């Protein structure tokens, strides 16, 4: 049996959050505590829809709902593993338990929403489009989360082939769509172009100087102006503007047409945007929520009631350690609600 066959072994809550966000969660599920592996081990075999593997607990209404969510999302893979009889048996026991607890309508609503979402996944989308001299270019078609992940790798591995002024739009759209499809990891260089990394101002000028020194002397004069200008920047936007100007000089110098030189110098944004949001949060005594960083001091000003309403759990905002441990694990949908209710702004 795979370790995360059902919710009891989903220790990171990654799949629970992903699967439950496929539909509006009923109140009886939101207010329940997840069944732990230790508690599940104390249940008899008949408390599971899969009695052989002791998987998909159906001992309570919340357990039935969550087990159904896991089962429906893994159904195709499970049928490949254990064939139709297994599927029919587990599905029948889940449905009988749902009838016993009078939650058949809740399961039907979840399953319908999941089917609708799955159908949408298999409708081909285009990530971005650009109009060039009257011709529309549609880039990065995808149907599923796996397709989008693959296209993100394609973009990142071939980023030098895309115009510099297209890259932020492309990267930002990848981040947006990845969030909607539950994709948690994207290539660093893509995240850097989308604005999730920042320059370390202690090294920024030195990095530019080293890049300048690799160019032919007749290409260094304009670059030197950028190096001097970089001493006074105070924001990521200003750093990106300098990167854009540096890119133009490097392109004219043939950096991106010389594989050995490009391999040595690397992408200008990749080499200069070195501070992740997590590192920024660490430096600023802040916390990363979604793709933004918030001051712990600001988070501690939010009332317990707002935390309860947004996350449906008791959080003591006076305890910084608790905020650091709990908030980054919350699903994006709850984080969005928290931002609306609290009115706080990122640092």
Tally of CB atoms within 10 A around 255: 22
Of the ranges 106-120, 245-259, 271-285, the best mean pLDDT one: 245-259
Calculate the dihedral angle through the C-alpha atoms of 326, 328, 330, 336, rounding to the nearest 10 degrees.
Answer: 130
pTM above 0.85, yes or no: no
CB neighbourhood size of 149 (10 A):
18
One-character DSSP codes across 120-141: HHTS-EEEEEEEETTEEEEEEE
The domain locations on the chain are 7-120, 125-193, 199-273, 277-342
Average pLDDT, the chain: 87
Beta bridge partners of 48: 57
Residue scoring higher pLDDT (35 or 316): 316
Give the pLDDT of residue 179: 83
DSSP code of residue 4: T
What does the CA dihedral 110, 112, 118, 120 come to, rounded to 10 degrees?
Answer: -120
Residue scoring higher pLDDT (7 or 180): 180
Q: Give 257 or 170, the one with higher predicted confidence.
A: 170
Residues β-bridged to residue 77: none
pLDDT band of residue 1 (cuts 50, 70, 90) is very low
Tell me which of 336 and 253 has the higher pLDDT: 253
What pLDDT is recorded for position 3? 46
């Amino acid at each position: 049996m795979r370790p995360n066959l059902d919710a009891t072994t989903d220790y990171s809550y990654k799949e629970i959050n992903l699967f439950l966000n496929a539909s509006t969660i009923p109140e009886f599920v939101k207010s329940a505590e997840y069944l732990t592996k230790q508690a599940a081990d104390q249940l008899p075999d008949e408390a599971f829809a899969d009695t052989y593997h002791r998987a998909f607990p159906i001992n309570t209404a919340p357990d039935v709902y969550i087990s159904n969510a896991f089962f429906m999302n893994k159904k195709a893979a499970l049928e490949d593993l254990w064939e139709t009889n297994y599927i029919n048996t587990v599905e029948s026991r889940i449905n009988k338990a749902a009838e016993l607890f009078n939650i058949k309508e809740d399961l039907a609503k979840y399953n319908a929403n999941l089917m609708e979402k799955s159908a949408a996944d298999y409708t081909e989308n285009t990530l971005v489009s650009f109009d060039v001299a009257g011709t529309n270019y549609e880039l990065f078609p995808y149907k599923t989360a796996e397709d989008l992940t693959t296209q993100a790798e394609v973009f990142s591995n071939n980023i030098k082939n895309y115009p510099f002024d297209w890259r932020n739009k492309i990267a930002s759209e990848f981040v947006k769509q990845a969030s909607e499809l539950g994709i948690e990891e994207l290539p660093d260089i893509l995240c850097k172009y989308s604005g999730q990394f920042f320059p370390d101002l202690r090294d920024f000028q030195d990095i530019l100087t080293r890049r300048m020194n690799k160019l032919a002397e007749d290409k260094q004069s304009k670059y030197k102006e950028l190096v001097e200008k970089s001493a006074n920047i105070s924001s990521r936007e200003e750093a990106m503007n300098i990167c854009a100007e540096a890119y133009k000089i490097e392109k004219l110098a043939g950096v991106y047409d010389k594989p050995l030189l490009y391999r040595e110098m690397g992408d200008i944004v990749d080499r200069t945007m070195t501070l992740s949001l997590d590192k920024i949060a660490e430096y600023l005594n802040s916390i990363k929520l979604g793709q933004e960083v918030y001051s712990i001091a600001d988070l501690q000003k939010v009332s317990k009631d707002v935390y309860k309403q947004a996350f449906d759990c008791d959080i003591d905002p006076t305890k910084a350690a608790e905020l650091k441990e709990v908030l980054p694990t919350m699903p994006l949908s709850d984080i969005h609600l928290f931002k609306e209710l609290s009115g706080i702004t990122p640092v």
